[in-house]
Structure 1
Amino acid sequence: MRCAVGLILGAAAAVVELVFIVLAGLALLPVAAWPTGRRAILRPVLAGARGLGEWERARLRAWLGVRLPPTHEDMRALRYVACRWPLGLLGGVVILAVGIGLVYGTLWMYAWLLTDIRFPGSIVNSSLAGMFLLFLSAQGIFGVAGLEGQLARRVLVPRHQEDLERRIAELSASRAAVVDAVHEERRRIERDLHDGVQQRLVALGMLLGRARRSQDPDRADQLLRQAHEESRQALDELREVAWRIYPTTLDEAGLRAALETVAERASVPVRVEYGLTEEPEKAVATVAYFVVCEAVTNAVKHAKPNRIRVAVGVEDGLLYVCVEDDGCGGANASGSGLFGLARRVNALDGSLNVVSPPGGPTFVTAELPCE
């Protein structure tokens, strides 16, 4: 039944793909010899092919059990759409044959209700023929489903050499991004120490110096009280800097406790929905923690939300993290904070997506490969 539904959806998609290919061909034909015009037309064509390819990928995964790696080239998606529509129509023909075979195969059950049966032998022959057609078309469903999977793997999945070249390029980019992220983190720590802890310590030294020079015991006592308060605040800010660098709770109590600590430290209500049954590996847990921490911090600082929801779970071998807030929206995905998060996530072959329309809500979603 799942394969049949998948082929029905594939047949409907084939009609859309056929229309799309015809319109794309008609649009590209007048500008085939004009490079600038061809590029201008190809952009929306490739975007449409990418959308159709993603829809097909979801259909194959949900109904035919075919799982494919992400497509990194839009031209592959366009070639797949151009090659798949005949196979999709074939799937529709097979489903139609199943219906015809079902109608004739069960003719003996209801034919006497529709007309007077003068030749029972013809009813028997029609029923047998219908059952045979039903058997063949049912086998055809599995055959077309197998062809769907083979075509998708052949066209959408890159060859081994291409995959190696892409991985080398990604590793080179991620290595450079990691170096940049380390430098950016060092600069952030230096700013935090200079603007916070260092200023507190300077003020503490000045207060202690004034207390030593003061001849008035009451004045000296007041200065010492101020110095004690400055030392307490300096210690709190130093702990905050250390927490932002790396939380010890993550090592001592795990990811769930670290996320609950982030929720407790936030100035707005944060609800944590934790769906993991096992602790993820350390690198994945660390990146997931920083995604939540940075997203919650940005939301509180810029979006002024009334509530924040954090969801963590595992699906299809991916650990997903979603941070949702009901603030004013308009988050800049290319900003320093979110861009740094994207580099952290990409270093683990993950993906970070930010949806933040003006007026909200904002969704920061990360997917990380995990065992």
Structure 2
Amino acid sequence: MAPMTEPAAGRRPLLNRRLASFGTTIFAEMSALAARTGSINLGQGFPDTDGPAQIAEAASRAVLTGLGNQYPPGPGVPELRAAVARHQERFYGLSWDPDAEVLVTAGATEAIAASLLALLEPGDEVVALEPYYDSYAACIAMAGAARVPVTLRPHGGAFALDVDELRAAVTPRTRLLLLNSPHNPTGTVLGPAELAAVAELAVERDLLVVTDEVYEHLVFEGVHTPLASLPGMRDRTVTISSAGKTFSFTGWKVGWVTAVPELVAAVRSAKQFLTFVSSGPFQYAVAEALDLPDSYYADFRADLAAKRDLLAGGLAAAGFEVFRPQGTYFITTDITPLGEKDGLAFCRSLPERCGVVAIPNQVFYDDRTAGATHVRWAFCKRTVVLEEAVERLGRLSR
């Protein structure tokens, strides 16, 4: 019998209707395009070099000595949970109980999914900053909730949150605010006034907040302030981060949640039926990574800042309007000065025009017109690769 790939006449579609609108991710499409055309891939946000050798050796040592080769504890290995707690105290003065207030996940992606599946019910509304990372919309849909976007808009060479628009988006059906700072894809870092407004709103309306802080150590201007550190926010905030972006081991998929026991227990209830557990040996290695000296974090940030400046300069020289990011791996540009209006069409044609791949931001919006001319570029690559990309992009202005 031939495999059933399409529904027979009269049958409902095979794919759950909540996911029917999502299809293949833009990252898969553009990475395949890069491979097919031999282009430089500045689309997907992963480094092209590995992280610290001593941390890779720690993972190897864990495998060879039998640490984590069998199922690790459901909440994560004690060594990693303790290291996460030390990290939060060291950098932010936040004290978390590693046994009751830290949960290890299969990257931040699972942490987001588990948090939303645990905390939402059908009919709930989630206010999320737009443009948003694509898994946010899918996870909200899987939970049966409705997303309500609040759009970050260009202002003064960057993207800004309109706190009045945020307040107006909250209704009696709003259950949760979903934040991401430092923000992918715009590179925005929410400042003290914006965070204070979010906290005030959450307390006033008794809202939960899930905050994705995976780029916490990649802030080039200003500082990263965890929302959970603000008055009234500890008991209502689920904070998510991961090792992938901070230590350049994105394939290890080690993330974590910090929150009060009641919230961690809720998220764990959903998480246990997703992966159950994952990344056993890597958890021990990440525990060592989190204890690296301050110099590691400073050097890592300085290296990425230099790469940001290199690519930003090249993009400006090629004719783009460049929104200089305060953090993350990414630069957003506007293609309007090049006489272009459709970011998706532009990105699909770019490999043939100059051998570079980028991501159209419009796929991260509910309102596609809001990001129609915006394109995202990843600068988490070797300097020589970025230099070659800049050279190729220069063809657009010739």
* TM-score normalised to structure 2 length: 0.21
More helix by share: 1
| Greater relative contact order structure (CA < 8 Å, 6+ sep) | 2
Larger radius of gyration: 1
* TM-score normalised to structure 1 length: 0.23
